[in-house]
């Protein structure tokens, strides 16, 4: 297959990134190697999209800090970028909507002959122009010259598809059936079994790329926040520039971990039926 014949892929990772860790960045490298090893894909760009404050997860610090840490840690990457559109929305945005938003941006960039494989964020579009593209994007999705957009995540995110009132079934169908998923294995998760046991994931299994991480790395943002609260070192678990930023801004304390303690996570609030 010549490089021109390969399908261009953009990877989108959604999450709290509270804070971003080396493993979040590794996910992109692992996914790119895996897709390009098939000989069918050329991964042209990675996008990190930190969730907005309205997600209301316990211990979630302000989006401006989470976005800035992600920006600092990708400064030296030639292909991974950070996008703050999701984090700037007043309400929490469903992941399917975030995927749709970025796909629309890619199609618009394509139409305007912008380079998708640059680290420069795509220019903000006029609302009407975006809505226009939304109407016609199902046809566009099959165009061979348009890049594909795939959601990049860890196995725990896929396993959360099963949690009552967390995901709308039609959103899962849209994300997996229409766009596709690249899932990195994670300790304590059995993604392969989960996909086998789920009728919808099994149906769209050809759109799911499961990437086995042999050098398992159990680092999590929860672990990092805990270590920081205890005054322990987190160096080498996240980029030095992020460690420095956390110190300079005095982020992550016992107090910040209490944020949203008595608040229900936004998707649960939105989807739990009121039985009163
Ligand atoms: N060690 C890891 N291995 C595989 N995937 C990971 C790992 N850490 C995070 N991810 C994935 O990165 C994405 C963003 O995750 P998130 O921001 O929740 O990070 P986290 O480290 O799990 O944080 P927290 O502990 O706060 O839940 C998710 O898709 C998650 O599955
Ligand atoms: N229904 C949905 O679209 C839905 C539900 C739960 C989490 N999510 C997203 O998954 C990510 C999960 O991040 P955390 O693992 O940090 O909670 C966030 O980006 C969040 O917006 C989406
Ligand atoms: Zn997590």
Q: What is the pLDDT of residues 68-81, one digit of tens each?
A: 999 999 999 999 99
Place of tokens 């165009």: 143
Q: Locate the ligand 1 atom nearest the alpha carbon of residue 220 and give its number.
A: 21
Task: Reduce the DSSP state of residue 46 to 3 states and report it.
Answer: strand
Is pLDDT at 62 greater than 80 in this prediction? yes
- Residue 100 Cβ < 6 Å to ligand 1: no
Q: Which two tokens stand for residue 125?
A: 């579009």
Ligand with minimal distance to 185 CA: 1
Write out pLDDT tens, residues 106-127.
999 888 876 655 544 444 444 4
Which residue, 177, 180, 185, is CA-closest to 156? 185
Ligand with minimal distance to 265 CA: 2
Write out pLDDT tens, residues 152-179.
999 999 999 999 999 999 999 999 999 9
Is pLDDT at 271 greater than 90 in this prediction? yes
Alpha-carbon span 138 to 136, nearest angstrom = 6
ipTM of the complex: 0.98
- Residue 217 Cβ < 6 Å to ligand 1: yes
Which residue, 54, 51, 57, is CA-closest to 20? 51
Amino acid 143: pLDDT: 52
Of residues 116 and 225, which shows the higher confidence score? 225
Is pLDDT at 136 greater than 60 in this prediction? no
- Residue 51 Cβ < 6 Å to ligand 2: yes
Contact call for residues 86 and 98 (beta carbons, < 8 A):
yes
Band of the pLDDT at 130, cuts 50, 70, 90? Answer: very low
- Residue 17 Cβ < 6 Å to ligand 1: yes
Is pLDDT at 275 greater than 70 in this prediction? no
Q: Locate the ligand 2 atom nearest the alpha carbon of residue 168 and give its number.
A: 1
Of residues 140 and 183, which shows the higher confidence score? 183
pTM score of the predicted model: 0.92
The 10 Å CB-count burial string (b at 16+, else e) for 159-179 is bebeeeeebeeebbebbbebb
* 52 alpha carbon – ligand 1 mean position (Å): 16
């Amino acid at each position: 297959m010549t490089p021109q014949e390969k399908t261009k892929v953009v990877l989108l990772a959604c999450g709290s990134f509270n804070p971003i860790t080396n493993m979040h960045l590794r996910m992109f490298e692992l996914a790119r190697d895996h897709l390009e090893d098939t000989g069918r894909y050329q991964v042209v760009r990675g996008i990190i999209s930190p969730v907005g404050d309205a997600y209301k997860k316990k211990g979630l610090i302000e989006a401006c800090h989470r976005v800035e840490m992600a920006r600092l840690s990708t400064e030296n990457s030639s292909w991974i970028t950070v996008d703050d559109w999701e984090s700037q929305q007043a309400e929490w945005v469903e992941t399917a909507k975030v995927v749709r938003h970025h796909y629309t941006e890619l199609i618009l960039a394509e139409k305007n002959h912008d380079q998708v494989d640059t680290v420069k964020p795509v220019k903000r579009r006029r609302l009407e122009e975006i809505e226009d593209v939304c109407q016609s994007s199902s046809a566009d999705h099959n165009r061979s010259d348009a890049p594909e957009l795939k959601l990049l995540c860890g196995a725990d995110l896929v396993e959360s598809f099963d949690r009552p009132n967390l995901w709308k079934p039609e959103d899962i169908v849209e994300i997996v059936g229409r766009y596709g998923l690249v899932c990195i294995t994670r300790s304590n998760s059995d993604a392969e079994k989960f996909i086998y046991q789920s009728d919808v994931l099994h149906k769209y299994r050809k759109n799911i790329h499961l990437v086995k991480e042999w050098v398992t790395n159990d680092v999590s943002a929860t672990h990092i926040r805990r270590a920081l609260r205890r005054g322990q070192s987190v160096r080498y678990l996240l980029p030095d520039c992020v460690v420095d930023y956390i110190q300079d801004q005095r982020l992550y304390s016992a107090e910040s971990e209490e944020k949203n303690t008595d608040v229900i996570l936004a998707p649960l609030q939105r989807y739990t039926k009121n039985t009163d």
